[in-house]
Structure 1
Amino acid sequence: MTRVSWRDRHTPKLVTCLREGYGTRTFVSDFGAGLTVAVIALPLAMALGIASIPQNVADELAAIHPWLTPPAMGLFTAVVAGAIISILGGSRYQIGGPTAAFMPLVFAICAAHGYAGLVLATCMAGVILILLGLFRFGGVIKFVPYPVVAGFTAGIGVVIMTSQIKDFFGLALLTPEGGVASVPAEFIGKLEIFWANRHTFNLYSVGIALGSLLILARLPKLAPRVPAAIVAVGLSAIVVKLMGWSSATVVYDGVHVRPMVETIGTRFGGIPSNLPRPQLPTITLDMVRALIPAATAIAFLGAIESLLSAVVADGMTGSRHRSDQELVAQGSANIASVLFFGLPATGAIARTAANIRSGGKTPVAGILHALFILLFMLALAPLAKAIPLASLAAVLVMVAWKVSDLENFRRLLMGPKPDVLVLLTTFGLTVIFDLTIAIGTGVVLASLLFMQRMTQITTVRGLDDTIGGIDTEAPDPKDPGRVEDLAVPPDVVVYEINGPFFFGVANKLQLALDQLQRPPKIIILRMRYVPHIDATGLNALREFHAKCRRRGTTLLLGGVHAHPMFELARVGLDDEIGLDNMFENLDDALVRARSLLNTGHDESPSVFDQTAI
């Protein structure tokens, strides 16, 4: 690897854009795009912060730091992570921040390990992402099977939608003993507690939520350039303020009192007007061990989402992102985000697309988007107190609907059965359990099914006494691998392997050997159509050779390509089988077989030279 190639892979796009020249016209375009995306990101960041932190964890944080509220944590993430992703990232257009994909995972981690556990898990995930980028895994992440991605994405949509039932319908959650209950992390637990408290249904909250949902659904069609989320949240806040619903109270169950419509102010007290000082996480070996699965899930999901967003941006603009540097930026941004009391972050597809459509040209637009959100916190934080939680719930319901992508899910259900199995398994595990289990199981299941398909692709077949009709093209008289009209001597069996030599070939070779009525003196494996052999295939070949020797059968290899031959030599199979029993074509292997049958020694040396290997 040369120094130049490393620099090309890991130079941030911001540096590249500045080197190309950055003028006033470009800045004006980036300024407008950054402002537009900031307006879109504001309500989303607050909504995702509220949805990601369990109420009991929020209460614990508020007791330590009164300004540390869930909506503020969403804004901290948008500012800190959004700026770093744009400064260090490998995409010109990527907009980073809190995303809906992380919400179920973050909620589950906080519920199990508290916010301290989330901070440590995110820092560990950041280190993993940086290492993935430095070791050139940016391209590998793209090969995660699409049914896995579609399955957990649709599952995330369902989890997000169900998590918003409480605020959408204005439910007040109570325990059987009459105390105030928190929303459980488990899907079934959520449904049970929501159903048990259905009698606390709040018509005012539902009205605000439905009105916001109507604006979110219709306004983009009527006025595509108008940020629907900010309009929905702003109008609902005005209505609640004018009607006095946030200050009026209602009594339910004859004991508990609550606001007629809950707002950020009534539940959390508001948001701070500045960024907090960074704080290092508490690290213990036991916590690290316990959080390895969570950290791996955060890293995997962050890598998938960010690179998918970058690919979408490339498709919209014709540009090309640097995937390895994008992972380094994502890892750095996640570490910085939680040090500033934020949440895990990644590239946001919708905000990135909005940046492009609004005229964003360089990463400066992403930096400006983060600065505009910070300015909102500095100047307009008191106004956030009036935002109804029902309106923010409607924003997330719309996000969940888009994330689920039901039409794409339906198309995948009509695909091959193995892909459908992976899709439904990943979807079901995401909904019922969590992303950590779903992603791991989905990837493993997809890998097993892929290996099964590769086994079916690779065939082992015996060739007749007179070999013919195998090559599809007319034989070249000068081709040493031609097989037309080659006579196979008695006591010689020829098997042709067609496809990669993987683990599945071992069973097929054993089956072929067992079907023989008596062991032949010589078996030739024709490997002309074997482009690759892996470790399992090498072990299978070693075992097959050992069985042949126990039966008194000599094993010859014909048509061995350079790559399989190199792998055979690396593990010592060239010595075990013998270089004089390996040939570049079947013709020479048959000559060797006749020689062994007639004289017991070689008359035609192998074409493979040990010095060449």
Structure 2
Amino acid sequence: MPVGLLYQAIFDLSVTMSATQHSSVAVAENATRAVLRQPRLLVRETLTGVVTALALIPEVISFSVIAGVDPKVSLIASVVLCLAMSFLGGRPAMVTAAAGSVALVIGPMVHQHGVQYILPAVVLAGMIQILFGVLGMARLMRFIPTAVMTGFVNALGILIFFAQVPHFWGKSPLIWGLFVLTLLIVLWVPRFIKAIPAPLIAIVLLTVFTVTSGQLLPTVGDEGSMSGGLPGFTQLLVPLNLQTLAIIWPCALSIAFVGLMESLLTARLVDDLTVTPSNKNRESAGLGIANILAGFYGGIAGCAMIGQTIVNVEMGKGRSRVSTVAAGLVLLLLVTGLSEVMAEIPMSVLAGIMVIVAVKTFSWHSIQPATLRKLPVTETLVMLVTVAATVSTGNLAIGVVTGVMAMLILPRIVRSKRAATSETALPDREK
């Protein structure tokens, strides 16, 4: 099988480059080799990559608007990030692309100083992330409390859901119909067809329907320019001096921190979903290298995207590096050679898929009455504070930092109140 041979050659090179591997990386490479040896698993992972690539497109295009760059720039950067992290990252099956959290950081700098400062800021951020990985500082992320992690996941599910609402709410009956049909296909088809991912079936069937019926609906092409072809290397247009450093360092530091935080939190989530370990330090260093490459050939940074990772891991059952390699290659093919075809995909169909992703992202177990009764009050409050801070600001970094601060403060407040209550009750007992 030519595709299998191609994947095998690529992953042999990846393993050779990582001669001294952590045990978690060895487990990941063994899983990848197992997929390459079994045609059924290889087909499943490849098809999962197709769905993941399609799920990346609307999100990446939307985030490019936030960052103040052309949609094509974000899409090409996402190709570079996805492929680079497939070989360099420490968490197989995790999808890395131009993410919204990073776009929120880059946007203010671009609006104030211009797009020419993105390249040096992204390269500096990548160097910081590499330093974190080499020094082993990425392991510190494991100290983030579980309540904060749960709040992060729940808030992200809420944000993903509300990001899809404009694509179907208050629209025509036909758009609503496509949205509902997408939900039904994604939920019911897996009961009968397991070889092909249900989201891919929904995208193909409903896109063919809208094109052949001549219906004029909002499509991916309406979200931004999708003209074919590859851009050249990004040119450095600003001088490398202290003035430039003064402009880029706050943005670079934020990119490094936010990107690492979201990537490592997502890696931790995938670890739990797949019951397999990941190498957080390799993930950090790999993300730094990938961002530098994306900066020079694309011009924008990125990090792990939890929504698309859920598509890959939960909906498509991707478990190895094959799925993300396929996603990167398919995205490259779509952006360059099949941009006109990709532009015809209805946004309501992609919205339906992402709503399912949002539902699967949210930790429903965390809000069940039985769970809440077992948890300490402080943990529940911390989770709610994290959700509220993230949803209200739309910034995952602010939400997590607020959650960690709440975890440090709230237990002390609760203990002081209990102590005060005990002191006031003591005289009554003496009487």
Task: Say whether residues 1:265 and 2:225 are aligned partners.
Answer: no
Correspondences of 1:434-449 after superposition (within 5 Å): 434-449=395-410
Q: Percent identity?
A: 20
Partner of 1:578: none
- Structure 1 residue 136: Cα displacement: 1.4
Correspondences of 1:190-229 after superposition (within 5 Å): 201-229=171-199
Give the Cα separation in 2 of the matches to 1:128 and 1:30. Answer: 37
For 2:338, what is the secondary structure of its paired residue?
helix
Amino acid at match of 1:432: S
Measured at CA, do residues 97 and 289 of structure 1 come closer, stay the same or move farther in structure 2, by a change above 3 Å? closer
Measured at CA, do residues 419 and 122 of structure 1 come closer, stay the same or move farther in structure 2, by a change above 3 Å? farther
Measured at CA, do residues 217 and 273 of structure 1 come closer, stay the same or move farther in structure 2, by a change above 3 Å? farther
Task: Say whether residues 1:331 and 2:288 are aligned partners.
Answer: yes
- Structure 1 residue 147: Cα displacement: 0.9
Instruction: For structure 2, list consecutive stretches of 5 or more residues without a partner in the other structure.
Output: 1-17, 239-243, 418-431
Give the Cα separation in 1 of the matches to 2:237 and 2:362. Answer: 34
- Structure 1 residue 125: Cα displacement: 4.4
For 2:166, what is the secondary structure of its paired residue?
helix
Amino acid at match of 2:104: A
Deviates more, 1:262-271 or 1:440-449: 262-271
- Structure 1 residue 276: Cα displacement: 4.8
8 Å contact from structure 2 (residues 264, 280) kept in 1: no
Measured at CA, do residues 122 and 156 of structure 1 come closer, stay the same or move farther in structure 2, by a change above 3 Å? farther
- Structure 1 residue 275: Cα displacement: 5.5
Determine which structure has the larger helix proportion and give its number.
2
Instruction: For structure 1, list consecutive stretches of 5 or more residues without a partner in the other structure.
Output: 1-5, 62-67, 170-197, 247-260, 457-613
- Structure 1 residue 400: Cα displacement: 1.7
Q: Which structure has more RCO (C-alpha within 8 Å, separation ≥ 6)?
A: 2
Measured at CA, do residues 424 and 23 of structure 1 come closer, stay the same or move farther in structure 2, by a change above 3 Å? closer
Partner of 1:499: none
Partner of 2:344: 386
Q: TM-score, normalised by structure 1?
A: 0.54
The one of 351, 354, 360 equivalent to 1:396 is 354
Q: Deviations over 1:312-331 (max 9, x none)?
A: 44x25xxx433321221122
For 1:386, what is the secondary structure of its paired residue?
coil
The one of 274, 278, 283 equivalent to 2:230 is 274
Task: Say whether residues 1:237 and 2:207 are aligned partners.
Answer: yes
For 2:194, what is the secondary structure of its paired residue?
coil
Partner of 1:418: 378
- Structure 1 residue 21: Cα displacement: 12
Give the Cα separation in 2 of the matches to 1:225 and 1:342. Answer: 36
Measured at CA, do residues 408 and 359 of structure 1 come closer, stay the same or move farther in structure 2, by a change above 3 Å? closer
Give the Cα separation in 2 of the matches to 1:332 and 1:217. Answer: 38
Q: Deviations over 1:181-209 (max 9, x none)?
A: xxxxxxxxxxxxxxxxx6xx433332322
Measured at CA, do residues 131 and 450 of structure 1 come closer, stay the same or move farther in structure 2, by a change above 3 Å? farther
Amino acid at match of 2:105: I
Give the Cα separation in 2 of the matches to 1:145 and 1:16. Answer: 26
Q: Deviations over 1:457-503 (max 9, x none)?
A: xxxxxxxxxxxxxxxxxxxxxxxxxxxxxxxxxxxxxxxxxxxxxxx
Measured at CA, do residues 23 and 370 of structure 1 come closer, stay the same or move farther in structure 2, by a change above 3 Å? same
Amino acid at match of 1:401: V
Give the Cα separation in 2 of the matches to 1:120 and 1:396. Answer: 33
Partner of 2:61: 50
Task: Say whether residues 1:297 and 2:258 are aligned partners.
Answer: yes
- Structure 1 residue 449: Cα displacement: 4.6
Say what the alpha-carbon RMSD is for the aligned residues.
4.0
Partner of 1:86: 86
- Structure 1 residue 430: Cα displacement: 0.6
Q: Indicate the structure (1 or 2) with the bigger Cα radius of gyration.
A: 1
Measured at CA, do residues 136 and 395 of structure 1 come closer, stay the same or move farther in structure 2, by a change above 3 Å? same
Give the Cα separation in 1 of the matches to 2:232 and 2:48. Answer: 23
Give the Cα separation in 1 of the matches to 2:20 and 2:403. Answer: 34
Q: TM-score, normalised by structure 2?
A: 0.74
Task: Say whether residues 1:108 and 2:104 are aligned partners.
Answer: yes
Q: Deviations over 1:6-30 (max 9, x none)?
A: 9746799489959x99799638577
- Aligned pair count? 386
Correspondences of 1:186-585 after superposition (within 5 Å): 201-246=171-216, 261-274=217-230, 276-280=232-236, 283-289=244-250, 292-293=253-254, 295-310=256-271, 312-313=273-274, 315=275, 320-339=277-296, 340-342=298-300, 344-346=302-304, 349-350=309-310, 353=313, 357=317, 360=320, 363=321, 366-410=324-368, 413-414=372-373, 415-433=375-393, 434-449=395-410
8 Å contact from structure 1 (residues 158, 404) kept in 2: yes
Partner of 2:423: none
For 1:390, what is the secondary structure of its paired residue?
helix
Correspondences of 1:112-191 after superposition (within 5 Å): 112-114=108-110, 116=115, 123-169=123-169
For 2:230, what is the secondary structure of its paired residue?
coil
8 Å contact from structure 1 (residues 305, 347) kept in 2: yes
Give the Cα separation in 2 of the matches to 1:323 and 1:35. Answer: 25
- Structure 1 residue 401: Cα displacement: 1.7
- Structure 1 residue 142: Cα displacement: 1.6
Give the Cα separation in 2 of the matches to 1:223 and 1:74. Answer: 34
Give the Cα separation in 2 of the matches to 1:44 and 1:23. Answer: 26
Amino acid at match of 1:383: V
Measured at CA, do residues 390 and 338 of structure 1 come closer, stay the same or move farther in structure 2, by a change above 3 Å? farther
Give the Cα separation in 1 of the matches to 2:299 and 2:90. Answer: 25
- Structure 1 residue 97: Cα displacement: 2.4
8 Å contact from structure 2 (residues 226, 335) kept in 1: no
8 Å contact from structure 2 (residues 78, 302) kept in 1: no
8 Å contact from structure 1 (residues 82, 97) kept in 2: yes
Amino acid at match of 1:428: A
Amino acid at match of 1:440: V
- Structure 1 residue 154: Cα displacement: 1.2
8 Å contact from structure 2 (residues 190, 198) kept in 1: yes
- Structure 1 residue 160: Cα displacement: 2.1
Give the Cα separation in 2 of the matches to 1:165 and 1:351. Answer: 18
Measured at CA, do residues 212 and 407 of structure 1 come closer, stay the same or move farther in structure 2, by a change above 3 Å? same
Determine which structure has the larger strand proportion and give its number.
1
Amino acid at match of 1:159: L
Measured at CA, do residues 16 and 308 of structure 1 come closer, stay the same or move farther in structure 2, by a change above 3 Å? closer
- Structure 1 residue 237: Cα displacement: 1.9
8 Å contact from structure 1 (residues 307, 326) kept in 2: no
